[in-house]
Amino acid sequence: MQRVRNQRAAEAIGRAYSYLPGRLAERLGGVGFVTGVDPIFSGLHGAAPAVTHDGRDYRRTGHCTYVHNQLHLSAARRQTTVVLPEPDGWHPFVVVHELGHALHEIVGFGHRAAPTTAYSRTTPWEAFAEAFTLWVWRRPHLDGYDAMWRDLRTRALFRELAA
């Protein structure tokens, strides 16, 4: 699903993809984007809960919705989709984090990354996305960077996927 309605959002998405090394941009090229709209009202979510695992409203929170969450749509319309409903999500860092969720789906959700930040301790899915973001961003001053660097299995997976 492609509904990018704002130039600033489009630029953030483009910049996020430009930071992805090697083949990762190709691997994630099939991810859809919805920006600036209520994903529930627009039909992207069916009977999904209206709040995230930590109580935030899906209508206002950046997130990734997977094909298996879109069974209410026809098979032809199902696509892993990054949802960025609010302008505060229109930043390459946020986009890379959400693409990390899409990558986790691509590898079958089987890999468990070590938690790197307080937020990454909330679920294994957030641990993977946070580790991916830190690996892509490669900024040693970021919270969790050292922990990500010590997770040799996760770093090796990302290097392999980028090759």
Name the residue ranges covered by the structural domains of the chain: 2-162
The pLDDT tens digits of the residues spanning 13-61 come to 999 999 999 899 999 999 999 998 888 777 777 665 678 888 888 888 8
pLDDT at 55: 85
Collect all residues with Cβ–Cβ distance below 8 Å to 56 and sequence separation of at least 6. Answer: none
The CA distance from 37 to 44, in Å, is 10
At 91 the pLDDT is: 93
Tokens describing residue 8: 């600033």
Q: What is the pLDDT of residue 140?
A: 84
For the domain covering 2-162, report its CATH number: 3.40.390.10
pLDDT (0 to 100) of residue 45: 76
> Which is higher by pLDDT, 88 or 152?
152
Evaluated on CA atoms 152, 119, 29, 140, the torsion sign reads: negative
Q: How far apart are CA 73 and CA 70, in angstroms?
A: 6
For residues 90-101, b (16+ Cβ closer than 10 Å) or e, as one string? bbbbbbbbbbbb
- Which residues have CB under 8 Å from 35's CB, separation 6+? 3, 4, 5, 6, 9, 10, 13, 83, 84, 85, 89, 90
What is the C-alpha to C-alpha distance for residues 8 and 12, in angstroms, rounded to an integer? 6
- Whole-number pLDDT of residue 111: 97
| pLDDT tens string 80-135 | 999 998 888 889 999 999 999 999 999 999 999 999 999 999 999 999 999 999 99
Q: Distance between CA 130 and CA 115 in Å, rounded? A: 8
What pLDDT shows up at residue 2?
Answer: 67
Q: Residue range 142-148: average pLDDT? A: 87
